[in-house]
Structure 1
């Protein structure tokens, strides 16, 4: 008969995870999670002279009633069974019952330590294009991507791939069959742009698309889980029901609801999210007709490209490193039609519009107000010869496509003649032609 002493009694990777409540004014958890100094000091004093030692030495594994020594795996297993039988028999919420629970935790940890001893593992291991680096963190909040169980950093050696962040126990490394996703990103920097391109379980031979484990929709022998990005089916080991924003749904439907994807797709999308590989005007040009935010961002990007020549030739702008404000989106100073998935997510949320408008204002202020050199590169409307100095990124101007001269928009479209600057350049070329012939 279980007492209310246990709120949770679950096993992960052969270890015991339990939460104990009692009359201490709070909760005891697995001692490796506890940060209270009195627990790590090795003693706790109450009204009696009871000492509760939380070390892992074998002397502390004695049964509260009687004693025995747990020195090997078989004896530890027997000790664990003895503790499990004894706990319900002891008085509820008693000190002896709490001591026994704590001892049971340590027995479990000691058993796992004997099964998976600490060895001198190399700091770097290369496998299937993964570059695994040995972790020093003692966090237990990570899961092994191979066996899908907790990584107990205190007593287990584990590695993380520096490329795709694949995590696994040292003992699981020889069982890995998944190549590094970063290599796929390097060789195939393009999204699948069909929405959930399902091919069916029969085309997969009723096997996981990745590890080839037999699967079915009925869950026998293993549950088939569909990845919304690839459209294929995976087993529960390769598909943890993680969710991610799918690029195809964003491009075609402007839909940002996260969908369930397999582990490899999750990593691939995470590594690709900041890469500018989406040319919207070719993939879905109609999107600009329905999403006003996209039109606004496109105009801001076009203006920034018009500002670029001013900064490239301005010493003050180079010293101030104004372009560093766009260091996370370098493609914004290279073109105006390539987008990353992160760009589209930020456009949808409104963050990109705010930040890019602020940067646009800073750039324009430097050119039009702060820097005399940049001001000297402005234009006077040659059609009306009136008004302030004009710049190509001003909202009320138009630019000649042939010579890049800047005019008031109203003057440019009302004028039926050709561009004055283009006319002068043409006349100059005609004047030079006779001299060329005579030579």
Structure 2
């Protein structure tokens, strides 16, 4: 035991040598010996060094005083501070108090100084520790099915996501969170049981149509002054919650269900050719995102006059009609099937099925000019295979039966006309000069009459 006592005396002597550092602090008033005042200090075992061993500040440095409870959390500005992330506090209230004091200390320190940067790092770790105490890490299942949502546990540690239910940041480092694979709804694991809205994917699968009335507003009274989604009380005055209108549905929502997201409204596009993004609710945003590539707009029925005012749509329609005329050549051509030429349009499968249906993405790309360029390149590739590269496809061409001059004609050529009855191809000028009379149709009609004509009975019998 003697060596231990000797070491203890030596450490006390070293602490005594550093004792003059306390001269920087104001001296406490003398206390009468009859009424000693208790000093609220943490036990010495919780301090990173003895309380007497405070380092002396260098001259010219600002004095940074940190209470003992902050020092207990590893926030003391000294050379003997604990490593970042090592905190002894476990009480939520104590952590909140330490966070507040650390914020005040950051404001007092010189800007862009090393001490201020260290204090900011400690503040971040304190906040993470506080969040960890609020939401303890528990074992959660990897898959959760709720209201047709199919939630998968996320493994990403990103902190840039926001919970769609409580509208707060998802701390991926310390919180468990899920994402719906159908509508990409994100939320904390603790918010799963609070979800009341079914998955939008089911609506897209069963309904698959747009609201084509421009902002069909009915008024707050029709909603009983409640949010259209979560039924929380709302009003235009912002008491108790601000009412935000969705430009797609025309209904009003609270700030938790309407984040002022911007989206292109399909009704404004097909009626006004207006692509300006408008504010929509979170539910409408997810629905429009899932529907953007679905070909559900029949423009000839919704707004047939649109083709008279938008030249780009006329060009797109002509290219689509030509591609439909090329399709039979590819289906009967082995080389085209082996080269999978029709897969050039796999992102827009409806282009090889009809020329009437459009998606919102088609209209967006038409407005920006991307669709016209890409479709023209595909059209050129298809025509090159039929007219130049493939001998089998070349043999399926037509010769104008009215003039019997010129090259081999194809129905997708710009200077040709196609008979609506027999699909024969002629020069456009020849066809209209002949009053649109098709010699092939006349020949087929005579052949049918000769086949069905009955022979005359024998009169000598």
| TM > 0.5 | yes
How big is the shift at 1:53?
A: 6.0
1:428 is aligned to 2:441:
no
Decide whether the 8 Å contact of 1:379 with 1:406 is kept in 2.
Answer: yes
Identify the residue that residue 208 of structure 2 maps to in structure 1.
189
CA distance in 2, matches of 1:325, 1:148: 42
Distance in 2 (alpha carbons) for counterparts of 1:427 and 1:53: 104
Give the C-alpha shift of residue 174 in structure 1. Answer: 1.3
- Pick the structure with greater CA Rg: 2
CA RMSD of aligned residues (A): 2.0
Structure 1 SS opposite 2:179: strand
Q: Name the SS for the 1:133 alignment partner.
A: strand
SS of residue in 2 equivalent to 1:348: helix
Query: In structure 2, what is the Cα distance between the partners aligned to 1:393 and 1:296?
Result: 14
Q: In terms of mean alpha carbon deviation, does 313-322 or 417-426 score higher?
A: 417-426
8 Å CA contact 1:279–1:338 kept in 2: the answer is yes
For residue 85 of structure 2, what is the aligned residue in structure 1?
A: 56
Deviation at 1:52, TM superposition (A): 6.8
2:258 matched residue in structure 1: 239
Counterpart for residue 61 of structure 1:
none
Judged with a 3 Å threshold, the aligned counterparts in structure 2 of structure 1 residues 326 and 202 are, in CA distance, closer, same or farther, namely same
The equivalent residue for 1:286 is: 305
Residue 95 (structure 2) aligns with: 76
The 5-angstrom pairing of residues 388-427 of structure 1 reads 388-416=407-435, 418-427=437-446
Shift of 1:93: 6.2
- 2-side partners of 1:405 and 1:315: how far apart? 24
Distance 1:155 1:400, change over 3 A: same
Q: Which runs of 5+ in 2 are unaligned?
A: 1-76
Aligned match of 2:317 in 280, 298, 301? 298
Return the alpha-carbon distance in structure 1 between the equivalents of residues 331 and 111 of structure 2: 78
Within 5 A, what are the aligned runs for 1:288-327? 288-327=307-346
**Closer, same or farther in 2 for the Cα pair 1:337/1:85, shift >3 Å?**
closer
Partners of 1:413 and 1:53 in 2: how far apart?
Answer: 93
Which residues of 2 match residues 369-384 of structure 1 at below 5 A? 369-384=388-403
TM normalised by structure 1 equals: 0.83
1:115 aligns with 2:134: yes
Report deviation, 1:86. Answer: 4.7
Report which stretch shifted further, 171-180 or 222-231.
171-180
Matched pairs, number: 381
Instruction: Name the TM-score, length of structure 2 as normaliser.
Output: 0.79
Distance 2:357 2:198 in 1: 29
Q: Is the 8 A contact 2:84 2:122 kept in 1?
A: no
Deviation at 1:111, TM superposition (A): 1.1
C-alpha contact (below 8 Å) 1:70/1:79 kept by paired residues: no
Partner of 1:151: 170
- Does the 8 A contact of 1:399 with 1:406 survive in 2? yes
Question: Cα offset for 1:346?
Answer: 0.4
CA offset digits 1:259-292 (Å, max 9, x no partner) = 0000000000000000000000000000001001
Pairwise mapping of residues 17-416 of structure 1 onto structure 2 (< 5 A)?
Answer: 50=79, 55-58=84-87, 69-84=88-103, 86-87=105-106, 96-416=115-435
Q: Is the partner of 2:223 in helix, strand or coil?
A: coil
